[in-house]
Amino acid sequence: MQEPVVQGMSYEQVYQGMKERNVKDSTDKLTKAHVTIAGAGGLGSNIAIALTRIGVGHLTLIDFDSIELSNLNRQQFKLSQVGMPKVVALKQNLQEFNPFIEIKTKQVEVTHDNVKELFADADIITEAFDNPAAKAMLLDAASEFYPDKPIVMGTGMAGIHSSNTITTKHPRPNLYIAGDGTSKGAEGLMAPRVMIAAGHEANMVTRLILGEKEI
Q: Is 172 in the site for other proteins (CB under 8 A)?
A: yes
- For residue 2, count CB atoms less than 10 angstroms from its CB and return exposed for 0-12, middle for 13-18, buried for 19 or more: exposed
Taking the least distance from each CB to other proteins, the nearer of 32 and 184 is 184
| Interface positions, 27-86, toward other proteins (CB under 8 A) | 39, 41-44
Does residue number 184 form part of the binding site for other proteins (CB under 8 A)? yes
| Beta strand 102-106 pairing with 58-62 | parallel
Nearer to other proteins, 175 or 215 (CB): 175
Task: Give the whole-angstrom CA distance, residue 67 versus residue 79.
Answer: 9
Smallest gap from Cβ 4 to other proteins, in A, equals 35
- Tell me which amino acid residue 214 is: E
The gap from C-alpha 169 to its chain's centroid, in whole angstroms, comes to 17
Determine which residue in the list 101, 177, 204, 209 makes contact with other proteins, applying CB under 8 A: 177
Angle, alpha carbons 183-73-115 (nearest 5°): 65
Q: Which is nearer to other proteins, 78 or 184 (CB)?
A: 184
Determine the Cα–Cα distance for residues 143 and 174; give it in Å rounded to an integer: 9
Report in angstroms how near the CB of residue 35 gets to other proteins at its nearest.
Answer: 16
Spell out, one character per residue from 106 to 145, where the chain touches other proteins: x when CB under 8 A holds, - when not. Answer: ------x---------------xxxxxx-xxx-xx--xx-
C-beta closer to other proteins: residue 47 or 54:
47
What percent of the residues of the chain are helix, what percent strand, and what percent coil, each to the nearest 5? Answer: 40, 20, 40
Buried b (16+ CB within 10 A) or exposed e, 14-25: bbeebeeebeee
Which stretches of the chain bind other proteins, using CB under 8 A?
A: 39, 41-44, 112, 128-133, 135-137, 139-140, 143-144, 153-158, 171-172, 175, 177, 179, 181-186, 189, 194
